[in-house]
């Protein structure tokens, strides 16, 4: 058999598979519409929750568990995430608020978690994201909470202290920063005199500090509200560069002069999904709580001792000053397990007995991708 005939047979086979895949996707979409119909019939006038975080996490885990290649597990999960996003949009198009402007890593986290069939709405501040969700103007919000290099995002923790919203999901996003310049500057060899300043978010400047010290130590480093805003300014000003990601570079027509300039190659930011409803158990969950302590010796010890006794794994501990008195503190604690399980309920009862206040911020599926 010659090459052309062999390739022709394989292409015919691919065309046949494509037809079957397309039909199966539409069959799944019809099932999703039937799910919506069933929920409507049995709602009894109550608000329907079409998006179920625990259900989607379970589906994605099964996709990765049964995958036998050659496509990588996470790539296969991303493909199913988009199929699920399209199907969910047939039930109810979700509105998701994120820390903007357009082109930020927070928007990228929102799309990674919900897929591209949601309606993303940019907000100026983390507080605005919380307010949009609380008011019901959007279904969910996405906010950054911590970075593996620079630590916690304090505005997010402080917002939880004043909010009744629930954490219903998390997203871990690998962060790659690029040094961006105008496209016309890339046509010839870029000289040190052509760039005098660089814009970026304060955390991004910190995450690229060593690279800047080595390669562009003479630049004025100007912090702005977001990396997308940095790219926008640099695209409009002479002598300016920006540190931002791929989406911002494409959005504002900037060229990548140097890529992946972050000092830590495994630089990762964790984002939280916030909503108004509690999330049920998915089988592999986390819980976040806020413990308010009195100003007394051993306050942190008494908050953590019940977890040790019950052999519950803690994944994060942060401390923030409380607004309810000088030298009083709030402890933000993440741990493995769901607050509805009997073992975790017993632990939380002991924690609450020694604290001035205990607030469950939410139980939610661990990040799948």
Q: Per-residue pLDDT for 131 more than 90?
A: yes
Which two tokens mark 221?
Answer: 């480093």
Question: Across all residues in the chain, what is the average pLDDT?
Answer: 92
Q: Which of 77-86, 112-121, 233-242, 289-298 is the least confident region? A: 289-298
Q: What is the pLDDT of residue 210?
A: 95
Average pLDDT for 350-363: 93
Q: Where are the domains of the chain?
A: 178-258, 279-365
Q: What is the pLDDT of residue 356?
A: 87
Q: Per-residue pLDDT for 188 more than 70?
A: no
228 and 100 in contact (C-beta within 8 Å)? yes
With a pLDDT cut of 70, the percent of the chain lying above it is 97
The pTM (predicted TM-score) of the whole model is 0.88
Q: Give residue-wise pLDDT tens across range 12-48.
A: 999 999 999 999 999 999 999 998 889 888 888 788 8
Distance CA 227, CA 242 (A): 8
Q: Per-residue pLDDT for 182 more than 80?
A: yes
Q: What is the pLDDT of residue 190?
A: 61
Is CATH 3.40.190.10 the classification given to domain 178-258? yes
Q: Give residue-wise pLDDT tens across range 84-110.
A: 999 999 888 899 999 988 888 899 999
Q: Per-residue pLDDT for 240 more than 90?
A: yes
Report the CATH fold assignment for 279-365. Alpha-Beta Plaits (3.30.70)
Average pLDDT for 145-164: 89
Q: Give residue-wise pLDDT tens across range 307-336.
A: 999 999 999 999 888 777 666 788 999 999
- Residue with the bigger pLDDT between 167 and 247: it is 167
Q: What is the pLDDT of residue 75?
A: 96
Average pLDDT for 212-236: 93
Q: What is the pLDDT of residue 97?
A: 98
Q: Per-residue pLDDT for 184 more than 80?
A: no
Average pLDDT for 297-313: 92
Place of tokens 């309606």: 119
Average pLDDT for 109-114: 96
């Amino acid at each position: 058999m010659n090459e052309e005939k062999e390739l022709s047979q394989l292409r015919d086979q691919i065309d046949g598979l494509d037809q079957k895949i397309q039909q199966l996707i539409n069959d799944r979409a019809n099932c999703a519409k039937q799910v919506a119909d069933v929920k409507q019939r049995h709602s009894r006038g109550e608000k329907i929750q079409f998006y179920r975080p625990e259900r989607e996490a379970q589906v994605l885990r099964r996709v990765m568990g049964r995958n036998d290649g050659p496509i990588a597990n996470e790539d296969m999960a991303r493909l199913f995430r988009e199929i699920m996003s399209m199907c969910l949009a047939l039930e109810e198009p979700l509105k998701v608020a994120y820390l903007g402007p357009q082109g930020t890593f927070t928007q990228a986290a929102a799309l990674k978690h919900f897929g591209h069939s949601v309606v993303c709405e940019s907000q100026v501040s983390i507080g605005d994201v919380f307010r949009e969700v609380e008011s019901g103007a959007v279904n969910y919000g996405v906010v950054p909470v911590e970075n593996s290099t620079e630590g916690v995002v304090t505005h997010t923790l402080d917002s939880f202290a004043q909010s009744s919203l629930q954490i219903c999901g998390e997203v871990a996003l690998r962060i790659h920063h690029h040094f961006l310049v105008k496209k016309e500057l890339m046509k010839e060899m870029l000289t040190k005199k052509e760039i005098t300043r660089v814009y970026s978010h304060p955390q991004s400047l910190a995450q690229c500090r060593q690279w800047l010290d080595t390669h562009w130590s003479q630049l004025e480093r100007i912090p702005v509200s977001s990396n997308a805003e940095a790219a926008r300014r640099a695209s409009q000003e002479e002598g300016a560069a920006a540190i931002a990601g791929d989406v911002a570079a494409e959005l504002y027509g900037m060229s990548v002069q140097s890529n992946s300039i972050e000092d830590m190659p495994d630089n990762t930011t964790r984002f939280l999904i916030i909503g108004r409803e509690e999330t049920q158990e998915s089988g592999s969950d986390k819980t976040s709580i806020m413990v308010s302590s009195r100003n007394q010796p051993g306050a942190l010890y008494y908050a953590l001792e019940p977890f040790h006794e019950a052999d519950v794994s803690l994944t994060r501990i942060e401390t923030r000053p409380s607004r309810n008195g000088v030298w009083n503190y709030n402890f933000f604690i993440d741990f493995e397990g769901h607050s509805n399980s009997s073992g975790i309920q017993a632990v939380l009862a002991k924690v609450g007995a020694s604290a001035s206040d205990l607030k469950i911020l939410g139980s939610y599926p661990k990040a799948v991708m």
